[in-house]
């Protein structure tokens, strides 16, 4: 499968615990994005990497959230001290990042439930 891969697909955690999600983009894509989607809403932008550089972060990304893309390949999104409001679908996407605007390809997402 050469699409965007996310792990785990589902995560249930207790409030206050830390969680980490992984995203493997399409191999030749140098742009990687994280989005969050809650019920009844469209995906909301969280952060974006060009290769290993994190170029933009949304105001939604509080200081409890951190994302990395250490070698410009896979990325991790960590949420520290989870809160019930963090319950959402976390989506990763990648795009080639060349030749002007182009569509982003999404993974299947990680569904986080904080209890």
Partner 1 sequence: DQQVKQNSPSLSVQEGRISILNCDYTNSMFDYFLWYKKYPAEGPTFLISISSIKDKNEDGRFTVFLNKSAKHLSLHIVPSQPGDSAVYFCAALTGTASKLTFGTGTRLQVTL
Which stretches of the chain bind partner 1, using CB under 8 A? 4, 6, 31, 33, 35, 40-45, 48, 50, 55-56, 58, 91, 93, 95, 97, 101, 103-109, 111
| Sequence-ordered list of residues with C-beta below 8 angstroms from that of 69, at least 6 positions apart, any chain | 32, 49, 51, 52, 54, 75, 76
Closest approach, Cβ 8 to partner 1, in A, equals 13
Nearer to partner 1, 18 or 51 (CB): 51
SS3 assignment, position 63: coil
Rg of the chain's alpha carbons, rounded to an integer?
13
CA–CA gap between residue 108 and residue 50 (Å, rounded):
21
Closest approach, Cβ 107 to partner 1, in A, equals 5
Nearer to partner 1, 19 or 43 (CB): 43
Closest approach, Cβ 6 to partner 1, in A, equals 8
């Amino acid at each position: 499968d050469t699409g965007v891969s996310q792990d785990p697909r589902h995560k249930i955690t207790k409030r206050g615990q830390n969680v980490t999600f992984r995203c493997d983009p399409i191999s030749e894509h140098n742009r990687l994005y994280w989005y969050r989607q809650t019920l009844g809403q469209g995906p909301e932008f969280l952060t974006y990497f060009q290769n290993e550089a994190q170029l933009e972060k949304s105001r939604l990304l509080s200081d409890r959230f951190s994302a990395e893309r250490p070698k410009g390949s896979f990325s991790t999104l960590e949420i520290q001290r989870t809160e019930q409001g963090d319950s959402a679908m976390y989506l990763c996407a990648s795009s080639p990042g060349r030749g002007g605007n182009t569509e982003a390809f999404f993974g299947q997402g990680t569904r986080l439930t904080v209890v």
